[in-house]
Amino acid sequence: MTKESIMNDLDLASQMVTDWMNFCREVCEDECLAFDGKIGGVGKIAEIDESKFGKRKYNRRRRVEGKWVFGGLLRYSNDCFFEVVDERSADVLLEVIKRRILPGTTIMSDCW
């Protein structure tokens, strides 16, 4: 839902919507980063992916300055994890998978 649609639908000022969106984002971030356990288990499906968060450098295509974040989400559940990683090499991501996903879990990815 866009900020503009929230403003129009609820007849709220721009600053109020911005404040609430930032608050909700911070709550989600705190919750996701606070969980340090493992997700999954036998018969469970975890989806994993990595993304780079930052901004484009010098308006060039696809070049982004920022940090890599690797995460996983357990299907049909609210269980998830996110970790900032220095690089997205197979060795680093496999280490995170072993640390954050229980054995027996089916892992779905976009072929990283």
Q: Mean pLDDT over residues 20-36, rounded?
A: 85
Determine how β-strand 45-56 pairs with β-strand 64-74.
Answer: antiparallel
* 3-state helix vs strand vs coil in the chain, percent to 5: 35, 30, 35
pLDDT in tens, 34-93: 788 899 999 999 999 999 888 766 666 666 788 899 999 999 998 999 999 999 899 999
Q: Which residue has the higher pLDDT, 27 or 42?
A: 42
pTM: 0.71
- pLDDT given for residue 61 in this prediction: 67
- pLDDT given for residue 25 in this prediction: 87
Q: What CA–CA distance (Å, rounded) separates 108 from 49?
A: 9
- pLDDT given for residue 57 in this prediction: 66
- pLDDT given for residue 5 in this prediction: 93
Q: What CA–CA distance (Å, rounded) separates 6 from 21?
A: 10
Strand partners, 50: 70
